[in-house]
């Protein structure tokens, strides 16, 4: 991997995803969208200087793992090198906690705040960190839910419906109230 940012689009069972990388690791992962143009535009917006390129083997492994994940396979991304770019120190701490969540394991925004030894009033700040997560799935923000088993927000294509589908892939039983309006 070189210092230049590169990216590539790739197919999954859920649509076309995009991944970007640099010499330090994966710097962006765009979850699947139905239209490849959406994924391409998102990469251009998020990383304007990135060049589309063939991925090196370590990035190819993440692409393959992501495709397997959306095909329903249990995949662990905890050892993937990431470059989250400049982050608020609080966000960096949030990402480190969330990165420890395994397949099918969920928590809440408030629980993450408690793990960081900050008050429950920081739950909203945890949610902001999740919304700005540049590498969803690798930092599994979809596993962080709102209080009471509610889905909470999700800034990826498809919004909360995509989050619910990802949790369902992992075998997470959602309360009926969390599934209302979702056609699985």
Q: Does the annotation count 141 as an active-site position?
A: yes
Q: What is the DSSP letter of 174?
A: P
Rounded to whole angstroms, how far apart are CA atoms 21 and 3?
Answer: 9
Q: Could you say which of 80, 123, 141, 151 is catalytic?
A: 141
- At 171, give phi and psi (nearest 5°): 80, 15
Please write down the long-range contacts of 37-43, taking CB distance under 8 Å and 24 or more positions apart: 38/157, 39/9, 40/9, 42/18, 43/7, 43/9, 43/18
CA atoms of 145 and 174, how far apart (whole Å): 10
SS3 call for 157 = coil
**Which residues are designated catalytic?**
141
């Amino acid at each position: 991997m070189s210092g230049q940012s590169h990216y590539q689009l790739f197919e999954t069972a859920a649509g076309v995803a995009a991944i970007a990388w640099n010499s330090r690791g994966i710097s962006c992962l765009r979850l699947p969208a139905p239209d490849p143009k959406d994924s391409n535009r998102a990469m251009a917006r998020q990383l304007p200087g990135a060049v589309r390129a063939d991925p090196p083997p370590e990035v190819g492994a993440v692409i393959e793992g992501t495709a397997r994940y959306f095909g329903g396979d249990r995949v662990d991304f905890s050892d993937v090198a990431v470059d989250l770019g400049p982050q608020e120190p609080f966000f960096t701490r949030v990402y480190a906690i969330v990165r420890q969540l395994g397949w099918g394991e969920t928590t809440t925004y408030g629980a993450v705040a408690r793990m960081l030894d900050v008050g429950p009033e920081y739950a909203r700040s945890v949610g902001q960190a999740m919304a700005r997560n540049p590498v969803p799935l690798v930092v599994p923000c979809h596993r962080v839910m709102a209080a009471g088993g509610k889905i909470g927000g999700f800034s990826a294509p498809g919004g909360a419906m995509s989050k619910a589908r990802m949790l369902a892939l992992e075998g997470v039983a959602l309360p009926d109230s969390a599934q209302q309006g979702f056609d699985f």
